[in-house]
Amino acid sequence: MRLWKLIKRFRFLEEYRAKITLGTNARLNPKTNRIQLQEDSAGEYPTSANIYAKTWVTNPNTVKQWLNFQVFDTQVYDDSGNALTSLGFRLGDGTDEYYWTGSAWAVSTSNWNTEADIANNIGSFPVTEKKIQVIVNLVTTDKRYTPTVEEVRLLYSSDVEFQEDLIVRSLIPKLREEIQVIADYPLPALSAPASTLDLDDYPLGTPYNIVGIDSVFNHTDDPDHFTDLFQSYDPNTRVITLSASIDAGKVPWVRFLWTPEVAISTSQEYNELEKVPAIELIDFAFTNKRQVGQDTGVLNKDSGAGTLLPGPRQTDIEISMRGVTDSARDHERLADEMRDFFFNNPVIVSRGMDEEYRLHLLNEYTDQTGPNRGDIHAGFLRFRIAGALFYQKQTKDVYAVKRMVLTGDMDVTID
């Protein structure tokens, strides 16, 4: 199995405030972008126990193992070198919090570990749910001082394939989940009174992926559609239950939500048979390629063993998106939904690495002049996935300098 070593960074920036949980007497300082103790009106810091701040829960679902843990912090010492401030830690999965007992990870909301405890044992932290969160305990024994934390880094192994993760695992599910189109469909007049409607008894002509029922009307008695008779819908049996029966000879009018098939046509590797109605992703172009960022690493301060991750390549991915339907009305509504999707400044989340990428509309949706010979209606827009990251260089093992010994004669001049 080909594995990459990647780094997840929890940075305590002001822009992430909404994602960070601050316990009583904990503070995110917007000037320093660090978490710290909250000072009172007299400028003193609390010395009480169990003051905490929590990172958000990250969910890189390609993680195979957590490998290392490092905290970037500032502590205060007295003239004799005794620590006046300190930190404690637990790991969480969004549901429970865990600490290292010395032999295993156990659920606890009262015990704390040192950074070394976490770094030396994070390799056995369970990855079943693919989720992890860091809980930081801020401690001071002197009310004049506070510890501060700028960042927490986690090293993990991953089998992510970057382009597949971004397009197949992340973009396509986003489109399937959020582009939902409404359709109106009058059913044939009923042969008998009915309080339920089985859609399997009424072929719709177009093979819609129905994701929900919006409303049902008795079109014969209520042609202006004022009274909604919809009560519930079972997607497994495709049966609609009505709040009131519709008499024989009356026409039920069903409004339902459908989602288009989303297909990729780029090569033999990414190819799906075309269905209608559908959205087809075509004409991929990688633009603005650049090497970005500095090399980053994670260091186990206790053992001195670390890992250096070379800076990634960053690129924009431009994609054309074609909407295809077999009716003009469906096409108009699909076009509106596609426009609305991009109007809301969408973000996709890389499911493999749990990183966010913004989608930018480059060219507005343009309809073709009319249906083709197969009565297929189509139109196009073009958009960009901005700043996609591709790590193409393997990590390097590094080691901290823990002691430096100087021998021989030296001249030291202090100005």
Q: Which CATH class for the 4-158 domain?
A: mainly beta
**Domain boundaries in the chain?**
4-158, 162-179+260-397, 181-258
pLDDT of residue 228: 98
Let me know: does 3 contact 157? Beta carbons within 8 Å. yes
Identify the residue with better confidence: 45 or 274: 45
- pTM comes to 0.83
Q: In this predicted structure, which of 1-10, 266-275, 301-310, 371-380 has the lowest mean pLDDT?
A: 266-275
Give the model's confidence band at 272: pLDDT under 50 very low, under 70 low, under 90 confident, else very high: very low
As a CATH number, domain 162-179+260-397 is 3.30.2000.10
pLDDT of residue 95: 94
pLDDT of residue 247: 97
pLDDT of residue 269: 42
pLDDT of residue 308: 94
Let me know: does 136 contact 89? Beta carbons within 8 Å. yes
**Statement: residue 267 has pLDDT above 50:** no
CA distances (Å), 115 to each of 97, 100, 327, in order? Answer: 16, 11, 62
- 45-57 pLDDT tens trace: 999 999 999 999 9
**Statement: residue 204 has pLDDT above 90:** no
198/201 Cα distance (integer angstroms): 6
276/323 Cα distance (integer angstroms): 9
**Statement: residue 273 has pLDDT above 50:** no
- 108-158 pLDDT tens trace: 999 999 999 999 999 999 998 899 999 999 999 999 999 999 999 999 999
Identify the residue with better confidence: 74 or 264: 74
pLDDT > 70: percent of the chain? 92
Give the closest residue to 10 by CA, choosing from 142, 151, 120, 201: 151
- 373-398 pLDDT tens trace: 556 888 999 999 999 999 878 899 99
pLDDT of residue 266: 46
pLDDT of residue 268: 44
**Statement: residue 325 has pLDDT above 50:** yes
pLDDT of residue 414: 57
pLDDT > 90: percent of the chain? 79
- 319 burial (CB, 10 Å; 0-12 / 13-18 / 19+) is buried
pLDDT of residue 283: 87
Site of tokens 């197969």: 374
**Statement: residue 18 has pLDDT above 60:** yes
Mean pLDDT of the chain: 91
Neighbours of 377 (CB within 10 A): 23
**Statement: residue 399 has pLDDT above 80:** yes
Give Cβ neighbours of residue 102 (< 8 Å, ≥ 6 apart).
Answer: none
